[in-house]
Chains A and B, each alone.
Chain A
Amino acid sequence: MRLARAGRWVTLVGLVLLAGVYLRALAFTPIERSQGPAQKIFYLHMPAAVWAELAMVLVGLAGVFYLFLKDPRLDRFAAASAEAGTVFAAIVLTTGPIWGKPIWGTWWSWDARLTLTLLLFFLYMGYLLLRSATPDPALRARYSAVLGICGLVLVPFIHLSTVMFRTLHPAPIVLKPSQPSLPGSMLITLLFSFGVFTLLYIGFVMQRYGLSLLREELAARERAAAVARGRGGGGGDGGDDA
């Protein structure tokens, strides 16, 4: 319960700071010359894309450790991370077309990185569906760990195949080692936004983790109550026998 509430606060702070990011982006960061104001969405798009992918990596790593340690906390974290990842993937998939329409002239293009995010989104959906279709908690944890690990290995293959397929996406221009071609003030806004999204990820995960903990406790309490009821009745029968 405390964790879920703390998570809500972290998320709230994250959202306030996100407003700060946009204040900075709109008022204090220069407009990009070739793309115009549409580029502003990039401060939302890029950090969300990075976290959509990082969340999958964390789901996979949590799966690896779960299979060794069988610690239910790892499974709960993986589930929370997948839910957060789904949200970030959805943000990318909505901001992408909004940016793409004025810049590429089309809402959707099968560009490498957009496709990757779409497939990540499908992976997350599959992961969450598998969880909801597996009633037994231990089985669910093992299955999702296996799927998460497979997803982790799949991501580089999708990267490869979509890049080899074709790409329209602007080449990475942020952290080129030779000379960062993004102006300093834009870079700062972007890094600020990235920090905010990290905070949002942590907040989401804390909330979902707290909630699933709560749900498990509730289920356990219901079960205990059912057992107690059953025992009460059984005790009566035993008394009659004696």
Chain B
Amino acid sequence: MLRADGLRHAFGHVMALDDISFSLAPGRTLVIFGPNGAGKTTLLKVLAGLIRPQAGCATVAGGRGAIGWIGHQSHLYGHLTVTENLLFWAALYDVPAERRRARAAEVMRRLAIADQADRRVWALSRGLAQRAAIAKALMHDPQVLLLDEPFTGLDLAAAGEVRALLAQLRGAGRVVVLATHNIDEGIELATDVAFQRRGRFVHFAPRGAHESAEIAEAYRRAVGAGGAGGTAGG
């Protein structure tokens, strides 16, 4: 479904990806924790085909068309309405023209933004905009979801809502990869957990029966030293 083989990438002298290999079967949710500058975004960008890695390769079944990308930026045009944005992105993802409107209505209903359908995106609150961004990523019913710090800038309530939505989306044959620097976010969604530090996976294992608190403790031990430094530096 999704596999990475020996990925390596450096920006100048900074290692962003250092020999990263893993594969995920349908239904798995990998949550990658790491401090800022650990290379999480680079990894997601490589998986999404935005960056060609200097070594190794990443394959996603179905290619770019099978990927839904949710970052901290919404990719939506402020002067277009939510519906217009969704129709535009659906057209780029080759959703058949006759199905786009129905699909947009369905996705907006699912994200509880049906009442925002005809509002311009710039007028939406941060939380609503993030939901619209998720709606955009779901328009083509992607089998792989890549999420880059999806909770950034959201207040607690909005972050909770987004988390609940993601809980609905994972499983059902989908592969989800979520990257975040905050160990308290998204840990309960994980079926697999990775800790990334200076481009390396210092830990990668199925979550098993571990409690969230246990994983958080393990993360602090594994990344703690570099984590504090990395956060301070970046």
Contacts and interface: CB of A to CB of B under 8 A. Distances in A.
A and B, direct touch (CB closer than 8 Å): yes
A223 B11 contact: no
A interface secondary structure, majority:
helix
Interface stretch (B81-89, B107-115, B218-226): B218-226
A220 B220 CA distance: 29
A229 B13 CA distance: 16
B96 interface: no
B208 interface: no
Given A227-B233, A241-B220, A234 B14 contact: no
Nearest to B234: A230
Interface residues of A, number: 19
Given A226-B233, A227-B233, A230-B233, A237 B13 contact: no
Interface of B: 11-14, 220-221, 224-230, 232-233
A36 interface: no
Contact of B228 (A137, A138, A224, A237): A237
A213 to B, nearest CB: 14
A233 interface: yes
Contacts of B229: 230-235, 237
Nearest to B223: A238
Nearest to B12: A137
A238 B13 contact: no
A223 B220 CA distance: 26
Interface of A: 136-138, 220, 223-224, 226-227, 230-235, 237-239, 241-242
A224 B221 CA distance: 24
Nearest to A238: B225
Contact of B13 (A136, A223, A239): A223
Contact of A234 (B13, B220, B227): B227
B186 to A, nearest CB: 23
Contacts of A239: 225
26 contacts: A137-B12, A138-B11, A223-B12, A223-B14, A227-B233, A230-B230, A230-B232, A231-B225, A231-B226, A231-B229, A232-B229, A233-B228, A233-B232, A234-B225, A234-B226, A234-B227, A234-B228, A234-B230, A234-B232, A235-B225, A237-B224, A237-B228, A238-B226, A241-B220, A242-B221, A242-B224
